[in-house]
Amino acid sequence: MNTNNLNWWETAIIYQIYPRSFQDSNDDGIGDLPGITSRLEYIANLGVDAIWISPFFKSPQKDFGYDVSDYCDINPEYGTLSDFDALLAKAHKLGLKVMVDIVPAHCSDEHVWFEESRQSRDNPKADWFHWVEPNPDGTPPTNWLSFFGGPAWSWEPLRQQYYLHNFLSSQPNLNHANPAVREAFNDIARFWFDRGVDGFRIDAVHTINADSEPYKNNLANPEFVPGDLPQQQQPFFRQLHDSGQLNQPAIQLFTESFRAVADHYGDRYLMGELHGDDAIKASQTFTAPGRLHATYNFNLLHWVGLDVDGLKDAITKAIGAFNGTGRLSFAFSNHDVPRSATRQMLGLGLQEDQQQAMQLLLLKLESCLIGSTCIYQGEELALQDVQDIPVDKMQDPWGIEFAPVFLGRDTCRTPMVWSENAPNGGFSKANSTWLPIDQRHLQRAGLDEAQRPHSVYNEFAEFLKWRKNQPALMNENTMSEVMGGPNEIIFDRISEQQTLRCLFDFESLTATFTTK
């Protein structure tokens, strides 16, 4: 069907796996790579094109893999490099591309790079991180704040300087103004491309810091209004970050260098995660020629969901900037926000008995938009977000910092369940799991739902089979403006062979498709 020779990633449905919570193979209560391998048929039978696996590198796990201590090895609780090779081989045999989640903005403070850098001002890694003198009064050099609470600067007594961390103090930001840092990540890319991976999801690419001193203070956010939303209760959101801290122009030194490596390997894919004061503008910058192939942002990942007008607005802005291209990926859920089956119920004002129909409608909607689509594990089951994790069972450092007002990201990271009648839903035979199993999820366990004819899993699988045979969806990335009444989202997907009218009715929670 791909008569216009689009690259695979331009129309891909990408299934995101959070490895710690997918499948445990050795009964320690933690998911692992062999566990993923054992469930690849379940993913392939859904009809997706690729998997994206969240970080499994060596790490002290203070931010569960997003604090890397070795980018070219596997954290022992997840397995070995041989386990990864076996996973990759089986995925490719099943027709699945494999994307690895790389974290270039920061590493763990236990990485040998930082352990060396912090020792002195004149060692070989001295300028691999952002080291800055204090103000004359001893305070940090700027007003920058961490996503996870407190200042974005921490004091290092050995160097008598501050170092930058946009997240935990144990996640120091790398200095991408240094060519040696960029080349180190080029070597990391080569390591994984040589093993056969098909692409990278690039974590928080907007938080890479590469601008030189003097660092600029962030401006105040004039639109900030204190309120009940968790984000509004955190000082971080009182600032405009693109004025200094984030989306720095010099980040593109990294994207251009990384892209050159990917291009050397042929049909490889680089998809960046980003956010910003103007996420669409940032996305355009990051996907300019010679940079990333595509990005995805948080415009459809609003913490408490969007109503129909909000969905229309987010889609309209994205299409206005990217129509005719595959340079944008859409997502309604990921490992950082509450699950869409709960979040969007609130945004759309629906009732609990409408949850599965709504989830299927959202899956179809995002799969009909231009570019690629990211599906987070459990969306195909309409799994609910878990809002009742006891504080003493929480694991997410962001949630722990602001509990109980803000529950963090554990609510969407609880383990997948596979069989209602198996111990821990078939995730693990351990006495306890790293996060508690949600008992409500047992009614929608993965293998059980795959056997139920009209489950969300099977209805979506049927839809994806149909999608692959629609020239307007598979041969070009072109669509009309978004139309429709108060409870409708309507648009045409357009190719030389077909014009397909896509109508999503949020009153009846049904989708209809007609060829014009």
- Across the chain, how many H-helices and E-strands are there? 14, 18
Contact 273, 295 (CB under 8 A): yes
Burial of 515 (0-12, 13-18, 19+ CB in 10 A): exposed
> Which residue in the list 101, 273, 366, 438 is annotated as catalytic?
273
Do 414 and 441 meet the contact criterion of CB atoms below 8 Å apart? yes
DSSP 390-436: -GGG---HHHHHHTTT--TTGGGTSPP---TTSGGGGT--SSS-SSP
Of the residues 24, 83, 101, 203, only one is catalytic, namely 203
Catalytic: 309? no
Euclidean distance between CA atoms 280 and 303, whole angstroms: 18
Q: d(Cα 515, Cα 129) in Å, to the nearest integer?
A: 55
Euclidean distance between CA atoms 509 and 487, whole angstroms: 10
The closest of 337, 386, 384, 336 to 359, measured between CA atoms, is 384
Asked if residue 297 lies in contact with residue 335, where contact means CB atoms within 8 angstroms, the answer is no
Is 203 an active-site residue?
yes
Find tokens 């050159």 and name the residue: 260
List strands edge to edge, sheet with 153-156: 131-132, 161-164, 153-156
Q: Terminus-to-terminus CA distance in the chain, angstroms?
A: 19
Give dist(CA 144, CA 127) in Å, integer: 20
CA 189 to chain centre: 19
Q: Which residues are catalytic?
A: 203, 273
